[in-house]
């Protein structure tokens, strides 16, 4: 940290980095995540990813239900497997995205892209406006964001069927 | 309804707050009566985030979640859609007494309805993000009903309107017919309506085009067939041949001249009509855009709207100027050529036609391949263009951070991608076009071979001249067929643009004036806000049950952190947006019942986002009152402390500002905008961070001017800097859309709450930078006790 930054406001710059030593998680009777941070117990905490697309397990911000930041976990891998599972479960609930298993067809009409896809066994139709701006690439795959703000994930583009790839490929630039 | 598109019976088509009758029947079959139902909503996921149809509703006894399946049946074209088939698989009921409150929580792509039970959060169900508005409304309705016995939600989407007059199928509330029966549904039909006022000229142009095509078709008859058969065949005496040649040459020249004359008349008429039609379209878009509310502009990017007025209108223009004439001429030519060919030899024509579809198909396939490649080139070029634009706009930052080389690197990378895409396209075109030419050559060769045999056998009056002219006709077919193979893409682009244009023309403004709106000639200026609720996005409330009162002629100061909702209050008073619940009243009348022109004339808004139009400074000051005299303009500029800086500019009040004009500093622009509001002389003045971009001295001067300006009118002043609000009669401290403190300056200081905290922070900050309390932040009549407390 440079001297210039330090002189601005130590209070606002103070970041509480949390690790397995000072932070412990537990699940409530109804499945919500609680935490004990530096000895203080919070019945419910909210986890938010700082880098949701590229580093989903690093820089996880913990807030209470009033959205007050309690600290940041630099890397979730430092937690025990049981603790990590609690963190992962909470993150997967919060960042849940239906996974597209097959793209049956894409129709382009008036700048809208009408997707007819399979999400597991469920047939789903959704519309994406301005495809270039509503696609978020990550690793080998990407998320599509429809007109309502819903996200649909293709975790690995190479892993879906060749027909599905052919349907989407012309629009992926 | 096309396959794969959303079903025709989405539940939101019906009254959103009630259950559809087929769901009620399915529930009754399961032994649950929906008789006492208070509020309902549809949900599309279950409690483990799997897609599932479910209905949430409550009565005075319990909250119910019924999940199952809803099968919609595709209706026959133009028929009333049949009722969906609903099967209820599971009903979860929770006694109302067990639920403290409901909350719709927003996650990244989904949401979750959570109930609070004895202070514990209990998850109920997930829903996709598109449903968050409905689920949030459901939660609020439940919470309000539990507390007051009323849902507090105005019912939406009644069954009454929104049914097709012909078949009864659901349709948008502002339409009388469903898509199937709407005569105006087709983009082409709607576009052609613009041509209706010029129908006679259009008919003449069409006739000329057909004549033009006929002239083209007739040329080979003279220049090839007659030349070979009557002149070059060698059967006639030389003198007769020369005479025939003379007639032929004159005929060909005459035909060419005739064609040129037709083309000139046709182009002349088109040139005089098309700009008029384009004018109609552009005026229509611009007029529609003026009618629309601020919300529409916030949801669309400025660039995309600019495109609609310029690029989309031009796309339509070029299609109708270039595409349609070619389509008609080429269509007429194909028909004419085929007629002539069949007249000459039906056998040879059939041979030619058998091979033509292969040519046509190849052209279509080739076009499809190129379309993808062109799309790729287009995307790459757009990206490179955006980078250049970004770079030019950010030059100061780039230089300040010495990032020129990095930026060059980025550009090189994007340019490489453009080059590669262009090379790939170029190579493909260079390869495929000669192959297409071979197809045409093969076609010609087949015709030549068969025709040659027919000439040799003298079959069906087939002469050398007839065969050669036949070959010319076959070659002439290539261009119109080629054009026809890609005209559909051109039309797609045009109808795409037309659709975007009509989207604006058809958009309903969020803010509309009631038919029986009340006029307000002389208002007192009393502003009353009752239980106001507002959100830009569902489930993200910006204003939450806020009530305020500013008696006529008083000054109300609003303080709060960034994002507390201060500017939103200003926007709601000026009715730039409509409240979700609650009301804003002026002189006791709801702003939604007032005539918009009267309302806006009586409200002066000096916003933190200052916009000056292209024109002189005087024009900008006169914006609200175009007939203001120069004396009034100067007086307003002096009151806004703008006169001095304006007089220092070489062109004084005639200095051009706005895009491309003289650049003014933030504070200077703010002063011009204050002068613009002063000249409007409104009864209610809203100052939204009006002096935020000014230095302390200028702010003081403006404060003094505004002090005079605010006399006799209601002023609502929004500010971060508390010094701006010294003269307020009342102050309201806002946080997260709620009022946390309300009172006079002295009362709030004594209260030692949020206002006091803000005031201390600012005073400390001023002391730190060596100003102390010269700003007058500290109350002049602060008591000794308070000073001691500090």
Predicted local distance difference test score (pLDDT) of residue A7: 45
Looking at domain B186-344+486-509, what is its CATH homologous superfamily? ABC transporter type 1, transmembrane domain (1.20.1560.10)
Average pLDDT over residues B251-271: 88
Taking the CA of residue A76 and the nearest CA in chain B, the distance in Å comes to 20
Q: How far is CA B60 from the centre of its chain?
A: 43
Provide the residue ranges of all domains of chain B, joining segments of one domain with +. Answer: 11-148, 186-344+486-509, 346-461, 527-743
Q: How far apart are the first and last CA of chain B?
A: 72
CATH number for the domain formed by residue range(s) B11-148: 2.30.29.30
**What ipTM was estimated for this complex?**
0.87
B501-505, B516-520, B545-549: range with lowest mean pLDDT: B501-505
CA distances from B739 to A164, B410, B566, B725, B761 (A): 53, 49, 11, 17, 20
Average pLDDT over residues B531-557: 86
Taking the CA of residue A126 and the nearest CA in chain B, the distance in Å comes to 8
Q: How far apart are CA B669 and CA B658, in angstroms?
A: 10
Disruptive mutation site among B1, B4, B187, B315 for chain A (greatest number of A CBs within 10 Å): B4
Cβ contacts of B129 on chain A, cutoff 8 Å: 148-151
Disruptive mutation site among A64, A67, A91, A93 for chain B (greatest number of B CBs within 10 Å): A93
Q: How far apart are CA B650 and CA B660, in angstroms?
A: 16
Share of chain B above pLDDT 90, in %: 12
B5: pLDDT strictly greater than 60? no
Which letter, b or e, does each residue of B603-641 get, where b requires 16 or more Cβ atoms within 10 Å of its Cβ? Answer: bbbbbbebebeeebbbbbbbbbeeebeeebbbbbbebbb
For B623-635, how does the pLDDT look when each residue is reduced to its tens digit (9 = 90+)? Answer: 988 999 999 999 8
DSSP state of A135: E
Helix or strand run (H / E) with residue A111: none
Whether A97 and B375 lie within 8 Å, measured CB to CB:
no
Whether B4 and A150 lie within 8 Å, measured CB to CB:
no
Whether A96 and B123 lie within 8 Å, measured CB to CB:
no
Cβ contacts of B50 on chain A, cutoff 8 Å: 122
Taking the CA of residue B72 and the nearest CA in chain A, the distance in Å comes to 13
Nearest CA in chain B to A95: B108
Whether A98 and B376 lie within 8 Å, measured CB to CB:
no
- Select from A43, A96, A170 the Cβ nearest to the Cβ of B109: A96
* Contact indicator for B637, B675 with CB cutoff of 8 Å: yes
B219-223, B297-301, B473-477, B768-772: range with lowest mean pLDDT: B768-772
Whether A150 and B109 lie within 8 Å, measured CB to CB:
yes
Which residues on neighbouring strands pair with residue B106, listed in sequence order? B111
Helix or strand run (H / E) with residue B256: helix B238-291
Rounded to the nearest 5 percent, the helix, strand and coil shares of chain A are 25, 40, 35
Cβ contacts of B110 on chain A, cutoff 8 Å: 96, 150
Whether A173 and B376 lie within 8 Å, measured CB to CB:
yes
The chain-wide mean pLDDT, for chain B, equals 80
Looking at domain B527-743, what is its CATH homologous superfamily? P-loop containing nucleotide triphosphate hydrolases (3.40.50.300)
B415-429, B679-693, B699-713: range with lowest mean pLDDT: B699-713
Average pLDDT over residues B670-681: 88
Which residues on neighbouring strands pair with residue B548, listed in sequence order? B529
B157: pLDDT strictly greater than 50? no
Cβ contacts of B499 on chain A, cutoff 8 Å: 110-111
Cβ contacts of A105 on chain B, cutoff 8 Å: 4
Predicted local distance difference test score (pLDDT) of residue B429: 82
Nearest CA in chain A to B7: A125
Rounded to the nearest 5 percent, the helix, strand and coil shares of chain B are 55, 15, 30
Predicted local distance difference test score (pLDDT) of residue B6: 37
Q: How far apart are CA B392 and CA B568, in angstroms?
A: 33
Nearest to B570 by CA among B558, B560, B561: B558
Disruptive mutation site among A26, A29, A96, A152 for chain B (greatest number of B CBs within 10 Å): A96
Taking the CA of residue A16 and the nearest CA in chain B, the distance in Å comes to 24
- Select from B49, B109, B120 the Cβ nearest to the Cβ of A151: B109
Predicted local distance difference test score (pLDDT) of residue A74: 92
Average pLDDT over residues B168-174: 55
* Contact indicator for A136, A157 with CB cutoff of 8 Å: no
Whether A94 and B108 lie within 8 Å, measured CB to CB:
yes
Nearest to A111 by CA among B521, B497, B451: B497
B705: pLDDT strictly greater than 60? yes
Nearest CA in chain A to B3: A116
Helix or strand run (H / E) with residue A73: strand A69-75
- Collapsing DSSP to helix, strand or coil, B69 comes out as strand
Nearest CA in chain A to B130: A148
Cβ contacts of B496 on chain A, cutoff 8 Å: 110-111
Predicted local distance difference test score (pLDDT) of residue B244: 79
B172: pLDDT strictly greater than 70? no
Taking the CA of residue A72 and the nearest CA in chain B, the distance in Å comes to 19
B409: pLDDT strictly greater than 90? yes
Q: How many separate helices (H) and strands (E) can be counted in chain B?
A: 23, 19
- Select from B110, B372, B375 the Cβ nearest to the Cβ of A96: B110
Nearest CA in chain B to A115: B4
Predicted local distance difference test score (pLDDT) of residue B9: 39
B620: pLDDT strictly greater than 90? yes
pLDDT tens for the 173 residues of chain A, in order: 444 444 445 555 677 889 999 999 999 888 899 999 988 999 999 999 988 888 889 999 999 988 888 999 999 999 999 999 999 999 998 998 899 999 999 987 766 788 999 998 888 988 888 787 788 888 888 999 988 888 899 999 989 998 898 888 777 76
For B82-124, how does the pLDDT look when each residue is reduced to its tens digit (9 = 90+)? Answer: 778 888 888 899 998 899 999 999 888 889 999 998 888 899 9
- Select from A44, A151, A173 the Cβ nearest to the Cβ of B380: A173
Whether A95 and B495 lie within 8 Å, measured CB to CB:
no
Q: How far apart are CA B421 and CA B414, in angstroms?
A: 11
Residues in Cβ contact with B499 at an 8 Å cutoff, skipping those fewer than 6 apart = A110, A111, B187
Measured CB to CB, residues of chain B less than 8 Å from chain A are: 4-6, 49-51, 107-110, 112, 120-123, 126, 128-130, 372, 375-376, 379-380, 495-496, 499-500
Which position has the higher pLDDT, B236 or A77?
A77
Taking the CA of residue B51 and the nearest CA in chain A, the distance in Å comes to 7
* Contact indicator for A42, A36 with CB cutoff of 8 Å: yes
Q: How far apart are CA B786 and CA B790, in angstroms?
A: 6
Q: How far apart are CA B200 and CA B648, in angstroms?
A: 59
CA distances from B267 to B260, B263, B334, B761 (A): 10, 6, 22, 73
Which position has the higher pLDDT, B1 or B682?
B682
- A118, with CB counted inside 10 A (0-12, 13-18, 19+), is middle
For B308-364, how does the pLDDT look when each residue is reduced to its tens digit (9 = 90+)? Answer: 677 778 888 888 888 888 888 888 888 999 898 888 888 888 888 777 777 677 777
How many residues does this entry show for chain A? Answer: 173
Whether B128 and A148 lie within 8 Å, measured CB to CB:
yes
Whether A98 and B109 lie within 8 Å, measured CB to CB:
yes
Taking the CA of residue A148 and the nearest CA in chain B, the distance in Å comes to 5
Confidence of residue B15 (pLDDT cuts 50, 70, 90): low
Measured CB to CB, residues of chain A less than 8 Å from chain B are: 28-32, 43-44, 52, 93-98, 104-105, 107, 110-111, 114, 116, 119, 122, 124-125, 132, 146-152, 170-171, 173
Assigned token pair, B277? 């039609």
Q: How far apart are CA B766 and CA B773, in angstroms?
A: 7
Predicted local distance difference test score (pLDDT) of residue B3: 37
B74: pLDDT strictly greater than 80? no
Nearest CA in chain A to B374: A170
Nearest to B640 by CA among B601, B684, B597, B685: B685
Whether A110 and B123 lie within 8 Å, measured CB to CB:
no
Whether A31 and B110 lie within 8 Å, measured CB to CB:
no
Which letter, b or e, does each residue of A49-64 get, where b requires 16 or more Cβ atoms within 10 Å of its Cβ? Answer: beebeeebeebbbbee
């Amino acid at each position: 940290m440079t001297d210039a930054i330090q002189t601005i406001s130590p209070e606002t710059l103070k970041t509480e980095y949390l690790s397995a030593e000072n932070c412990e998680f537990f699940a409530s009777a109804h499945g919500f995540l609680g935490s004990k941070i530096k000895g203080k117990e919070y019945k419910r905490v909210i986890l938010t990813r700082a880098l949701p697309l590229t580093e989903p397990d690093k820089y996880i911000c913990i807030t209470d239900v009033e959205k007050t930041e309690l600290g940041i976990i630099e890397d979730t891998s430092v937690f025990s497997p049981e603790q990590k599972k609690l963190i992962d479960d909470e993150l997967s609930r919060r960042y849940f995205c239906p996974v597209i298993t097959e793209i049956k067809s894409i129709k382009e009409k008036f700048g809208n892209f009408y997707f007819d896809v399979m999400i597991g066994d469920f047939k789903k139709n959704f519309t994406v406006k301005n495809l270039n701006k509503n696609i978020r690439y990550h690793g080998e795959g990407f998320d599509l964001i429809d007109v309502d703000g819903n996200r649909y994930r293709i975790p690995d583009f190479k892993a879906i069927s060749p027909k599905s790839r052919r349907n989407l490929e012309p629009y992926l630039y | 309804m096309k396959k794969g598109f959303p079903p025709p019976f989405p539940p939101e088509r019906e009254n959103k707050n009630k259950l559809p009758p087929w769901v009620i029947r399915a529930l009754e079959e399961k032994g649950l009566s929906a008789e006492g139902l208070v509020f309902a909503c549809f949900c599309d996921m279950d409690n483990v985030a799997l897609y599932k149809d479910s209905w949430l509703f409550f009565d005075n006894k319990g909250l119910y979640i019924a999940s199952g399946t809803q099968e919609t049946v595709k209706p026959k074209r133009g028929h009333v859609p049949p009722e969906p088939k609903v099967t209820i698989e599971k009903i979860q009921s929770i006694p109302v007494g067990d639920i403290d409150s409901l909350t719709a929580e927003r996650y990244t792509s989904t949401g979750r309805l959570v109930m609070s039970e004895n202070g514990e959060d209990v998850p109920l169900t997930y829903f996709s993000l598109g449903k968050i508005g409905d689920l949030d409304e459901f939660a609020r309705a439940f919470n309000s009903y539990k507390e007051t016995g009323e849902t507090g939600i105005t019912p939406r989407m009644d069954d009454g309107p929104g049914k097709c007059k012909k078949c009864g199928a659901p349709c948008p509330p502002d339409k009388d017919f469903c898509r199937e029966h709407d005569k105006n549904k087709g983009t082409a039909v709607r576009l052609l309506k613009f041509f209706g006022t010029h129908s006679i000229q259009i008919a003449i142009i069409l006739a000329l085009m057909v004549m033009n095509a006929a002239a083209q078709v007739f040329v080979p008859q003279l220049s090839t067939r007659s030349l070979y058969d009557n002149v070059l065949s060698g059967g006639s005496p030389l003198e007769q041949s020369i005479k025939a040649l003379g007639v032929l040459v004159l005929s060909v020249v005459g035909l060419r001249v005739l064609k040129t004359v037709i083309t000139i008349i046709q182009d002349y008429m088109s040139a005089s009509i098309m700009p008029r039609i384009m004018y109609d379209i552009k005026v229509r878009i611009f007029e529609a855009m003026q009618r629309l509310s601020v919300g529409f502009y916030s949801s669309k990017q400025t660039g995309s709207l600019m495109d609609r007025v310029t690029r989309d209108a031009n796309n339509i223009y070029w299609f109708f100027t270039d595409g349609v004439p070619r389509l008609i001429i080429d269509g007429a030519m194909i028909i004419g050529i085929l007629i002539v060919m069949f007249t000459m030899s039906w056998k040879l024509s059939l041979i030619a036609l058998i091979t033509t579809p292969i040519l046509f198909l190849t052209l279509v396939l080739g076009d499809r391949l190129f379309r993808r490649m062109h799309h790729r080139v287009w995307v790459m070029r757009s990206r490179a263009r955006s980078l250049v634009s970004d770079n030019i706009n950010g030059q100061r930052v780039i230089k300040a951070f010495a990032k020129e080389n990095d930026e060059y690197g980025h550009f090189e990378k994007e340019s490489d991608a453009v080059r590669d895409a262009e090379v790939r396209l170029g190579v493909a075109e260079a390869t495929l076009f000669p192959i297409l030419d071979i197809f045409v050559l093969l076609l010609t060769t087949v015709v030549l071979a068969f025709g040659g045999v027919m000439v040799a056998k003298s079959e069906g009056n087939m002469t050398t001249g007839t065969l050669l002219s036949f070959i010319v006709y076959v070659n002439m077919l290539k261009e119109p067929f080629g054009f026809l193979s890609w005209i559909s893409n051109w039309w797609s682009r045009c109808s795409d643009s037309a659709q975007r244009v009509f989207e604006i023309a058809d958009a309903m403004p969020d803010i509309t004036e009631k038919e029986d709106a009340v006029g307000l000639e002389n208002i007192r200026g009393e502003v009353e806000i009752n239980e106001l609720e507002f959100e830009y996005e569902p489930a993200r409330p910006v204003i939450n049950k806020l009530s305020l009162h500013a008696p006529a002629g008083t000054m109300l100061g609003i303080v709060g952190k960034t994002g507390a909702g201060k500017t939103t209050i200003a926007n709601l008073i000026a009715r730039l947006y409509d409240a979700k619940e609650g009301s804003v009243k002026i002189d006791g009348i709801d702003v939604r019942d007032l005539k918009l022109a009267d309302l806006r004339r009586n409200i002066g808004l000096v916003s933190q986002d200052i916009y000056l139009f292209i024109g002189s400074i005087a024009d900008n000051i006169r914006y609200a009152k175009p007939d203001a005299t120069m004396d009034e303009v100067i007086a307003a500029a002096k009151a806004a402390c703008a006169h001095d800086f304006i007089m220092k500019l070489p062109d004084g009040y005639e200095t051009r500002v706005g895009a491309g004009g003289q650049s003014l500093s933030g504070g200077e622009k703010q002063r011009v905008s204050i002068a613009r509001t002063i000249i409007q002389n409104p009864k209610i003045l809203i100052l939204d961070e009006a002096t935020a971009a000014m230095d302390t001295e200028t702010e003081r001067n403006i404060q003094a001017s505004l002090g005079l300006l605010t006399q006799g009118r209601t002023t609502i002043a929004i500010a971060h800097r508390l010094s701006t609000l010294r003269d307020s009669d009342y102050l309201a401290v806002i946080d997260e859309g709620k009022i946390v403190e309300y009172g006079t300056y002295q009362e709030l200081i004594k209260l030692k709450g949020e206002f006091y905290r803000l005031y201390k922070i600012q005073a400390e900050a001023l002391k730190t930078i060596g100003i102390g309390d010269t700003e007058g932040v500290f109350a002049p009549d602060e008591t000794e006790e308070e000073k001691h407390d500090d």
